[in-house]
Amino acid sequence: MNQPASRTAEIRKHAKNGDGAAEALLADLLRDLFKIEPVNLAINHDQYSLNSLNGFFDTAAGQLFFKFHQEEGEEAMTGEYYRADILARAGLPVDQPVLMSVLPGEQILVYKRRTDPRFSDVLRALDLEHDGQKAARAIAAERKLNEAVLDVYLKTLHPVTAQQVSAEPVHRLFFERLIDPPAGRYPGGRFASFYVGKDFAFPGVRLGWEALSTSRFVVNGVEYRDTVGQLFDEAFERLRPSRLADAGGVTAHGDAHNANVWYREQGDAAALSFFDPAFAGEHIPTLLAEVKTTFHNILAHPLWLYDPALAAERYEATANYSDGVLRVSSSWEPSPVRRQLLDVKAQAMWRPLLAELARRGMLPADWRRVIRLGLFLCPTLVMNLRASATTHNPVSSIIGLSMAVMAGSEPVAGEDMLSRFFDAIDPGRA
């Protein structure tokens, strides 16, 4: 049976090509769905819109903001987009849309236009020029949001069935990007189209997929246990939705990267609120709920994932390959504000959440592995990390793949930023 065509996919394709057709197609979609007349429609072209589109338009009723998320082959996938009321009912700070469509291939949310910046823009400015006072305000807002989200997680944490977990749309961000749905063929999806059988250009070396996928990474002198190929294979097995019911489920946003978070200053303080709950759910696997926020709000910065051209100007990276070992030297490091955000995420979210799972007897023995595999899939499947495949270049490509391996794999010996993070959140350690 043929799936209906995706109008949002067509709009996103034209927006990416810049051929001028996207605005007219989008205006037609808004008219058809909501019986409104959009004027002055403008699509934003920003570095965070990797799998989505957003922008502004006017109507007789006022100025509005739209956003939609679009996945390849989404019509054949399970789950439902945009259950926008779930987070509000749970008590989380979230913008409610004034208009919404959840029709297959026509999923879109429309909000009243706000002048507040996104938290991603606030933090990017702090990456480029650190300001202690502004950073402290941002960190305090982040801590307050984490405390509010943790409170919801602890109140909504409950045993779940494999069927409940499998129905959640959050798997579109992880497992379903590894396969060709609905058949489930592996390797498939973005994994196959991005990497399998492709060539990779790094500063100083070129490798084919076979060599890259079987290489041991040594990054700035630290050797990692798992290869890229092993991490993808294990993610396919362990992050299968039917296997993720063992740690229970929670009510969660699921995709709360900071381009989906508003930042509002209130005197000497600031407050954060969510929007675009495309992957919200009430049975989201507990160990996946905060994976996207941990990687995309912290480890993806500064610059290398969303601003690869600027990253190549600011950082140096070299690679050398011999005897199955890829040795990487890189000057990239987290900015002061990102290191503080990682500390907040450890103290105000992960450690108390894992401690509660342990207290209830719901913490799997391989919890570290599950989280690490989720972190590994965040950068590798959100966009193609191969140089010249999208906006990535040899420098940002090797930084990105190195970060993915560091997130997914334990060091063979010694420690790194991520192993220290996992020790800090381990409820079994004093």
DSSP string, 265-312: EETTEEEEEE---TT-EEEEETTTTTHHHHIIIIITTTTTTT-HHHHH
Nearest Cα to Cα of residue 262 among 98, 138, 147, 133: 138
Q: Considering the entire predicted model, what is its pTM?
A: 0.92
CA-closest candidate to residue 142, choices 359, 414, 279, 346:
346
Q: What's the sign of the alpha-carbon dihedral 327, 318, 192, 259?
A: positive
For each of the domains in the chain, give its residue range(s) and CATH number, in order of start: 7-112 (3.30.200), 119-425 (no CATH)
Instruction: State how far the Cα of 141 lies from the Cα of 245, in Å rounded to an integer.
Output: 31
Pairing relationship of beta strands 269-274 and 99-101 according to DSSP bridges? unpaired
Query: How far is C-alpha 408 from the chain's CA centre?
Result: 15
| Residue 140 bridge partners (DSSP) | none
Tens-digit pLDDT string for the chain (430 aa) = 344 568 888 998 898 888 889 999 999 999 999 999 999 999 988 777 677 888 999 999 899 999 887 766 555 444 455 676 899 999 999 998 899 887 777 888 899 999 999 999 999 999 999 999 999 999 999 999 999 999 999 999 999 999 999 999 999 999 999 999 888 999 999 999 999 999 999 999 999 999 999 999 999 999 999 999 999 999 999 999 999 999 999 999 999 999 999 999 988 999 999 988 888 999 999 999 999 999 999 999 999 999 999 999 999 999 999 999 999 999 999 999 999 999 999 999 999 999 999 999 999 999 999 999 999 999 999 999 999 999 999 999 999 999 999 999 999 999 999 999 999 999 999 7
User: In one letter, which amino acid is 179?
Assistant: I
* Nearest CA-CA partner of 174 in 343, 296, 345: 296
